[in-house]
Each structure stands twice: as C-alpha cells, then as structure tokens.
Structure 1
C-alpha cells in the first residue's frame, strides 16, 4: 500500500502532529521551510494485512509520519 501525507489527513488517521526542525527551536530564518513530524494509526485491516506501512513522508521529507504500531 502506497500512502501519501494527504491521504493520511483526508482519512483522519493522524493522531499527533508537531513542528520540528528550525521552527520548533526558534532558529528559523525568513527562508526556512516548515518541518512536521507526527504519528498515525492504521485501521485494523491495514495494520494486520500484508501491506503494513511503518512510515509516510512527502517528497522533500519535510513531513514525516510514523505508524504507532
């Protein structure tokens, strides 16, 4: 199963989301990007299936979400 960050949001599977990187530490500059980290929970069918997804990230790795397990 190939999931995207947008799909996690649309399905309501994200249970924790927070800022990370320079913005979280107050070290950002006007050109800094926004880094997000978080946790999501897969539904039972996906969790126990053959397509378990431990991590989902966007193309630039600025947003990374981990499955709670």
Structure 2
C-alpha cells in the first residue's frame, strides 16, 4: 500500500466529537451516536482550586 492509501483508509475509519460541559452540567450523546457503534473516549478535566470533579458514563438504560 502506498502512503496515500494508508492515509485515505485512516481518514475513512476515524472521527471525533468534542464538546464542553459547564459546571454542574450534563451532556447526552444519544442522538449523536448510531446503533451498533462502539464508542470509546478520553476526557480531560480542568483543575480548579478546591473544586471536586467527577465523570459518570452510562447508556440509555442506566448501565455504567
């Protein structure tokens, strides 16, 4: 395979979603994810003086 072919294959198979959630906010991704698609993710929390942060991920049935 040529380098161009590898790059085109990588572009075809990847995508990203970035969003901001305000303090005490929630974000539902149900409408943005298609059926039978495996979703993996990374997250980054900004540091705040004296603030506690937590992340909760669940599916539409409440499974975590």
- TM-score normalized with structure 1 length: 0.30
Q: Which structure has the highest strand share of the two?
A: 1
Specify the structure having the higher radius of gyration (Cα).
2
Of structures 1 and 2, the one with the larger relative CO (CA 8 A, separation 6+) is: 1
- TM-score normalized with structure 2 length: 0.31
